[in-house]
Amino acid sequence: MTLRNHPPAEPDIASLKAHALDLRRKMMGMASGKGEGYIAQGLGIADCLAALYFHEMRHDPARADWADRDRFLLSTGHYSIAMYAVLAQAGYLDVAELPSYGINGSALPMSTFDTTNGVEIVGGSLGHGLGQAVGMAMGLRLDGSPARVFCEFSDGELDEGSTWESAMGAATFKCDNLVVLIDCNGIQADGPVTVAIEPVADKMTAFGFETYEIDGNDMAALAEALGKCREPNGKPKAIVLRTIPGFGIPTIMARERAHFVRVGNDEWDALIAELEHENA
Per-residue pLDDT, 228: 96
Per-residue pLDDT, 81: 94
Residue 280 class from Cβ within 10 Å (0-12 exposed, 13-18 middle, 19+ buried)? exposed
Residue 279 binned pLDDT confidence (cut-offs 50, 70, 90): confident
Per-residue pLDDT, 278: 83
pTM of structure: 0.94
DSSP per residue over 5-19, as a string? TSPPPSP-HHHHHHH
Q: What is the CATH number of domain 13-278?
A: 3.40.50.970
Per-residue pLDDT, 34: 76
pLDDT of 259 higher than 90: no
Per-residue pLDDT, 1: 47
- The dihedral over CA atoms of 21, 101, 77, 196, expressed in degrees to the nearest 10, equals 60
* DSSP β-ladder status, 191-192 and 187-188: antiparallel
Per-residue pLDDT, 127: 82
pLDDT of 105 higher than 90: no
Beta bridge partners of 180: 151, 238
Determine the distance from the C-alpha atom of residue 246 to the mean position of all C-alpha atoms in its chain, rounded to a whole number: 14
Q: Average pLDDT, stretch 43-51?
A: 97
pLDDT of 97 higher than 60: yes
Average pLDDT, the chain: 91
Q: What is the CA radius of gyration of the chain?
A: 18
Per-residue pLDDT, 195: 78
Any residues with CB less than 8 A from the CB of 251 and at least 6 apart, and which? 267, 270, 271, 274
Angle at 22 between CA 72 and CA 13, to 5 degrees: 75
Per-residue pLDDT, 264: 76
Any residues with CB less than 8 A from the CB of 111 and at least 6 apart, and which? 77, 78, 80, 123, 124
| C-alpha distances in Å from residue 32, one per residue of 37, 86, 151, 245 | 10, 17, 28, 17
Per-residue pLDDT, 189: 65
Per-residue pLDDT, 110: 86
pLDDT of 32 higher than 50: yes
Q: Average pLDDT, stretch 231-257?
A: 91
Domain boundaries, given as residue ranges, for the chain: 13-278
Is-contact 129 75, C-beta < 8 A?
yes
